[in-house]
Amino acid sequence: MAITIRTGTEVYPGSIVFHHTAFMTQFMVTDRLKALIEKSSLSKKEKQRLLAGETISHKDLVSFYRQCTPCPTLLELLRTSKLQLSKRHSRFEGPPKTKEFLESMQRLRLQAKEEEYQRLLNKTKDDPFKLYEEKLDDDWNPAKATKEVRSHLTTIFNIFISVASVIYAIWYWTDTSAGMRDSYRVLLCVFVGLLVLVAEVVVYMGYLAKVEDARVRERNKKEVKKVIQTIKID
């Protein structure tokens, strides 16, 4: 399979392809390459120029090959050296960053972190990546409402049973033990019945208030999910 070496628009036979790019490609002047240059037919001044530094440019190396042909192919000549990319012209390094640029990047990072934090907080409840899970009563349904109404009706019925039981006990006691007249017995039963009814209602309303307060506190709680332990399975 014929593979070529390309530099600019000229092509040389070999076994790899080089593209002459914008950054400067340098090759180290090894002992083997140095010996080839010294034995070549170049002028003394040209030899000194090529051997003046520790590296030689790709352009000079190709020019040396074209003028002297010290090796059968350009690839063999390249193998006598080592490729070295100049850091100053490396395509992986951009221009030096200014102080204003670094400050702007820092502000953008902070803004991105804040937006990510707000996104985690404001996700919907079905989002699996939400950081906080709100305790909302979103599972309300007719069955739950029916259960609550039934509970209220049962409590009201129990209150009336308690009031009726107390009234009957007062009525019975005033007849058998106190021997009071019926008018006084009626007034006493009504007074005690109202007193018991008010007490039962106050107690029940206090219970409902505590239940609602507990629901509000539970709704306002935020659950923080943490990773307790991580198990890595290879």
pLDDT digits (tens, 9 = 90+) for 96-134: 778 888 888 899 999 888 888 877 776 555 555 554 444
More confident site: 21 or 179: 179
pLDDT above 50 for 234: yes
H or E segment and range at residue 184: helix 182-220
* pLDDT number for residue 233: 66
Rounded average pLDDT over 62-70: 87
Of these ranges, 11-15, 94-98, 141-145, 201-205, the one predicted with the greatest mean pLDDT is 201-205
DSSP-derived pairing of the beta strands 222-224 and 132-134: antiparallel
Q: What does the domain layout of the chain look like in residue ranges? A: 3-89, 99-130, 142-224
Alpha-carbon separation of residue 155 from 10, 95, 197, 201, 206 (angstroms): 100, 79, 12, 10, 13
Radius of gyration of the chain, Cα coordinates, nearest whole angstrom: 48
Task: Summarize pLDDT for 175-220 with one digit per residue, the tens.
Answer: 888 778 888 889 999 999 999 999 999 998 988 888 888 888 877 7
Q: Report d(CA 139, CA 46) in Å as an integer.
A: 88
- Could you give the 3-state DSSP secondary structure of residue 112? helix
pLDDT tier for residue 144 given thresholds of 50, 70 and 90? confident
Which sign does the torsion angle of CA 107, 108, 109, 113 carry?
A: positive
H or E segment and range at residue 200: helix 182-220
Residue 229 dihedral angles phi and psi, to the nearest 5°: -150, 140
pLDDT above 90 for 174: no
The token pair that represents 68 in the structure block: 């002297």
Which pTM value belongs to this model?
A: 0.35
pLDDT above 50 for 11: no
Asked if 12 and 63 count as a contact pair (C-beta separation under 8 A), the reply is: no
* pLDDT number for residue 7: 44
DSSP 126: T
pLDDT tier for residue 227 given thresholds of 50, 70 and 90? low
User: What is the per-residue burial (b if ≥16 Cβ within 10 Å, else e) of 149-175?
Assistant: eeeeeeeeeebeeebeebbeebbeebe
User: What is the per-residue burial (b if ≥16 Cβ within 10 Å, else e) of 49-79?
Assistant: ebeeeebbebebbbebbeeeebeeebbebbe
* pLDDT number for residue 47: 85
* pLDDT number for residue 9: 42
